[in-house]
Amino acid sequence: MLSVRGLQVRYGAVEAVRGIDLDVGRGEIVALLGANGAGKTSTLAAIAGLVPAAAGMVRLDGVAMTGLPTERLARQGIGLVPEGRRVFAGLTVAENLALGGAVHAPAAERRARLRAMEARFPILGERRDQKAGLLSGGEQQMLAIARALMAAPRLLLMDEPSLGLAPQMVERVFDLIAALRAEGLTILLVEQNVPMSLDIADRGIVLANGRVALAGPARELAASDAVRGAYLAA
């Protein structure tokens, strides 16, 4: 479904991503792993159009997506749950969700999706009219994921969804990701929690210094010393 070839991202003189290839098949969870600064977030940002790709090609279901502005990519079905959640703190929970689905479906369909989200995340239903900034970290993460799901994306990119959450909440987030995959969603997951990511992922890709250091089935990577090595090296 997603195919990335030779992707490069530069910030001025700094090369964050130096030519990576990756593929995500329909209905798969692919975990993108690596130390801080390995280029994971930049890779996601480039796929979602938040930063320009210096070189390389991004295709979604065979259609070239490279260079399209963020909003066009979102309309093409690429959803991103950004690092640090980035919910709209001054807007209510309901307004956050409404924006998530704003351009993707007619009003009736949006209402149905909103009800589905509130059924899936009862806390968001209870806090519907509260400012999102007043939610706990875990609740904000749920909101950030629900907001992305309101668009019914073809491909969901998730950047560190468990970062900074309490252990119980981390478990809930991973359960949720597994449940979304079971419903057929395709997910590219960036995570620092390596064991739990490889536990739910089909395949894993380890980045180091902006390049693919290692790739393979999640189970093999989980058993490999090289994964630990790649982490400690950087």
Please report, as ranges, the residues that interact with other proteins according to CB under 8 A.
48, 50, 69-71, 74-75, 79-80, 82, 86, 88-91, 95-96, 98-100, 102-104, 147, 151
Choose between 155 and 227: whose C-beta lies nearer to other proteins.
155
CB of 55 to other proteins, least distance (A): 22
Of 183, 162, 205, 154, which Cα lies nearest the Cα of 39?
205
Choose between 1 and 50: whose C-beta lies nearer to other proteins.
50
CB of 70 to other proteins, least distance (A): 4
Choose between 70 and 192: whose C-beta lies nearer to other proteins.
70
Choose between 76 and 192: whose C-beta lies nearer to other proteins.
76
Query: Which amino acid would we find at residue 78?
Result: I
CB of 169 to other proteins, least distance (A): 21
Q: Which residues contact 79 (CB under 8 A, 6 or more apart)?
A: 148, 149, 151, 153, 155, 156, 157
Alpha carbon dihedral 29, 35, 41, 42, in 10-degree steps, equals -120
Q: Which helix (H) or strand (E) holds 176?
A: helix 167-182
CB of 100 to other proteins, least distance (A): 6
**217-221 — which CB contacts under 8 Å span 24+ positions?**
218/31, 221/33
